[in-house]
């Protein structure tokens, strides 16, 4: 399946407000970390270039090979300190991945809730029943 960008990643008003987003292909490059071919694009409004990589969750990360290892360790309840020691990275690397996985998971959950027509995601349980979201379905 071919990737088609649906918006310009620059987030400037002239690009964000325009209804018809137009771009053109601008070559490609090969990722050094895994040899994957990455398509480049150029926004016709602001002339900025971006790529399929710009929209990926691992955009800007240095050690992409650690992502799966850190994720599997985190869901196995391994401490962040132990993960850093095992995979020869800093504690900060593990902490940033944890934050990234949390944001990505939350975004995916919110997207799935919108797909199902549920307006707000569930914020978790609490002791009082009045704190539950009152409007769980979209009008
Ligand atoms: Zn643009």
Q: Where exactly are the structural domains of the chain?
A: 1-56, 60-119
Which strand ranges, in their side-by-side order, compose the sheet holding 49-51? 23-30, 37-43, 49-51
pLDDT digits (tens, 9 = 90+) for 13-38: 778 766 788 899 999 999 888 888 99
The predicted model gives 44-49 an average pLDDT of 91
Q: Report how far residue 98's alpha carbon sits from residue 56's, in angstroms, rounded to the nearest whole number.
A: 16
The alpha carbon of 91 and the centre of ligand 1 are apart by a number of angstroms equal to 36
The alpha carbon of 59 and the centre of ligand 1 are apart by a number of angstroms equal to 18
Range in 50-64, 80-94, 108-122, 124-138 the model is least confident about? 124-138
The alpha carbon of 58 and the centre of ligand 1 are apart by a number of angstroms equal to 21
pLDDT digits (tens, 9 = 90+) for 93-124: 999 999 999 999 999 999 898 888 877 666 66
pTM here is 0.67
The alpha carbon of 25 and the centre of ligand 1 are apart by a number of angstroms equal to 14
The alpha carbon of 43 and the centre of ligand 1 are apart by a number of angstroms equal to 5
């Amino acid at each position: 399946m071919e990737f088609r960008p649906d918006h310009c990643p620059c987030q400037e008003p002239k690009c964000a407000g325009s209804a018809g987003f137009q771009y053109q292909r601008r070559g490609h490059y090969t990722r050094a970390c895994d040899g994957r071919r990455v398509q480049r694009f150029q926004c016709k409004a602001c002339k900025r270039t971006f790529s399929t990589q710009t929209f990926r969750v691992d955009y800007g990360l240095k050690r992409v090979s650690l992502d799966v290892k850190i994720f599997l360790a985190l869901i196995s309840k391994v401490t962040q300190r132990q993960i850093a020691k095992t995979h020869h990275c800093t504690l900060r690397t593990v902490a940033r991945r944890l934050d990234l996985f949390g944001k990505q998971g939350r975004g995916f959950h919110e997207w799935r809730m919108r797909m199902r027509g549920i307006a707000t995601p569930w914020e978790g349980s609490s002791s009082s029943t009045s704190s539950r979201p009152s409007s769980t379905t979209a009008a």
